[in-house]
Structure 1
Amino acid sequence: MVAQQLVNGLMLGAIYMMVAVSFTLFFGCLNFLNFSVPALFMLGGFLTWAFVQMGMPWVVAVLGALAVAAVASLIVERLTWRIQRGGPPLIPLVSSLGFLILFENLVLVRWGSDARSIPSPFGDANIRIGEVVLGVPQLACLVVAIGLVFGLQFLLARSKLGRGIRSVAESPETATILGVEVNKVVPRLFLLAGLFCALAGVMFSLSYQLVSPFMGDQVALKGLAAMVLGGMGSVWGAVIGGLVIGLIEIFAISALSADHVSVVVYGLLLAVLIVRPTGLFGDAGLGQQKL
């Protein structure tokens, strides 16, 4: 029983981890809390369902949903960060919240507010190891999420884009003096973080076979908590925070009930922040290259 809950917690935590990493890329590099993240998550999952309903193969549907989410993320960059970065820091934050409401309501107007069931391409396939049952969709999502995080680490540490992101995280002004094209790096960062978040939405729809226009709100709130728990600006902190919150949620449901999940999760978050206000890995930000 404990082993099964442990596996379920890690699989759920993989989704929170992806969302937390997306928040971390925005905040760690730009000091920008992007409230459009829940909408990007929703677009990834909901549009996958919509495209499958149109008769598209699953692979095409996923790629189409990711493409729309990527464009949406670039629109947010252009109309929030790009044109408002010289003003008060709260303006881009509020503008991104406006995009969250806009994207959710566009989907709401087109498809309604009802939750929709989405058939999994894996069916009900599962793998049994002793008494532990591993759902193939959840297992695939966990493996993909871990692979993507390691790929992100490699990109940040070894690629030209990664060096540019770290330079901008240290200081956009200094990065410009050193020849980094900030106006090219930032859109690519939005694209990367937006795809991470949309992929988390696809993973959620694959794992739980349910989508709705507001599916991103609660998940993104847990992802935000994971980022804060791990340490704002730390990619590995976001990874650990996401997995920890996934485990806590599953064990809380098992030991107590679903009604107590939020109390346990956010109560633990507050307790950790009282003891360590910077989070578990708060000194390991993007600019410090401690990924």
Structure 2
Amino acid sequence: MFVQQLINGLTLGSTYALIALGLTLVLGVFNKLNIAHGDVFMFGAFTGLAAAGLGASLAVAILAGMVSAAIINVLIERFCFHPLRNSHFLAPMLSTIAFGIMLQNIATQIWGADPSRFPNVETTTQYEFGGILLSSVHVVILVVSIALMIAIDLGIHHTRMGRALRATAIDGEIAGLLGVNTGKVIFFTFLTAGALAGIAGVLTANVYSQITPHIGIRQGLIGMVAMVIGGMGNLRGAMVGGIAIGIIEILNDAYLGAGYRDLVVFSLFFGFLIVKPDGLIPQNKGARA
């Protein structure tokens, strides 16, 4: 029973890790939060649902969610961050709140306010390993999420764009003087963060929840919790934090009850902010965005 819950928590947590990774990438480059990130997640989930409703496979639905969310995130950079880059540090973040509310209302107009459930786009197969049940969809979530986390980590450390991104995160002005195309780095950062949110949206909606235009509010907050627990601005910390939150939620539901889920998670969030604000993996011990 306990091992089964750990596997379920790892599956859920891997989607939270993707959300936290996107938030961390943007935070690393701008030192500001994209508060609409959860709504980007939501829009990606709805786009994937629309594709699945037309008969698309899960892979195509994931691709549709990824592309739409990536485009929306680039628009957020263009309209919320870029014009306000020299304004008060709160201005871009406040503008993303407004943008997120706009996305919620657009989704309501297109898909309605009632909960929508992701259609079964693939035949689900159940696997059993020593009494542990694992569905084929859970396997897809784990494989896709872990592959993306590994790819992001390797890309940040072993590619030219990754080095440029890290240089921009440390000091964008100096990076520009040294020849780094910071505009390209910023575009790539928001594109990647949006794509991760869209993929997470489709994967999450396909298994765990009904979709509403407001689903992104909690998911965005969970991404922030994962960042704080893992270590602010630390990509590996975001992964660890996301997985930890997923496991904590599933264990809470199994042993305490779902009604205590948010109380436990956000109490933990508050506790880390007060007692250990550097998180489980301080920034100088992990991969900085």
TM above 0.5, yes or no, is yes
Instruction: Count the aligned residue pairs.
Output: 289
**SS where residue 123 of structure 1 aligns?**
coil
Q: Which residue of 2 aligns with 1:215?
A: 215
Counterpart CA distance in 1 for 2:266 and 2:54 is 40
Deviates more, 1:201-210 or 1:190-199: 201-210
The question of whether the paired residues in 1 share the 8 Å contact of 2:70 and 2:195 is answered with: yes
Q: Which residue of 1 aligns with 2:270?
A: 270
What one-letter code is carried by the residue in structure 1 that aligns with 2:76? V
Counterpart CA distance in 2 for 1:125 and 1:55 is 19
Q: Deviations over 1:250-277 (max 9, x none)?
A: 1111111111111111222333333322
**SS where residue 249 of structure 2 aligns?**
helix
Question: Alignment RMSD, CA only?
Answer: 1.7
Alignment of 1:170-181 (within 5 A): 170-181=170-181
**SS where residue 284 of structure 1 aligns?**
helix
The question of whether the paired residues in 1 share the 8 Å contact of 2:231 and 2:283 is answered with: yes
Do residues 119 (structure 1) and 119 (structure 2) align?
yes
Alignment of 1:1-291 (within 5 A): 1-208=1-208, 210-284=210-284, 289=287
Counterpart CA distance in 2 for 1:175 and 1:224 is 27
Q: CA deviation at 1:142?
A: 1.2
**SS where residue 83 of structure 2 aligns?**
helix
**SS where residue 91 of structure 2 aligns?**
helix
Counterpart CA distance in 2 for 1:11 and 1:55 is 25
Q: Deviations over 1:49-71 (max 9, x none)?
A: 11222344443333233222121
Q: CA deviation at 1:143?
A: 1.6
TM-score calculated relative to the size of structure 2: 0.94
Q: Deviations over 1:201-249 (max 9, x none)?
A: 0111222363221222212211110111111100111111111111111
Percent identical pairs in the alignment equals 34
Counterpart CA distance in 1 for 2:75 and 2:57 is 27
Deviates more, 1:130-139 or 1:146-155: 130-139
Counterpart CA distance in 2 for 1:154 and 1:258 is 36
What one-letter code is carried by the residue in structure 2 that aligns with 1:284? N
Counterpart CA distance in 2 for 1:289 and 1:5 is 29
Counterpart CA distance in 2 for 1:171 and 1:290 is 13
Q: Deviations over 1:118-169 (max 9, x none)?
A: 2233333221112211121122111211111110111111111111110110
- Structure 2 residue runs without a partner (length 5+): none
- Structure 1 residue runs without a partner (length 5+): none
**SS where residue 28 of structure 1 aligns?**
helix
What one-letter code is carried by the residue in structure 2 that aligns with 1:139? V
The question of whether the paired residues in 2 share the 8 Å contact of 1:117 and 1:209 is answered with: yes
Counterpart CA distance in 1 for 2:209 and 2:273 is 34
TM-score calculated relative to the size of structure 1: 0.94
The question of whether the paired residues in 2 share the 8 Å contact of 1:138 and 1:206 is answered with: no
**SS where residue 127 of structure 1 aligns?**
strand
What one-letter code is carried by the residue in structure 1 that aligns with 2:114? D
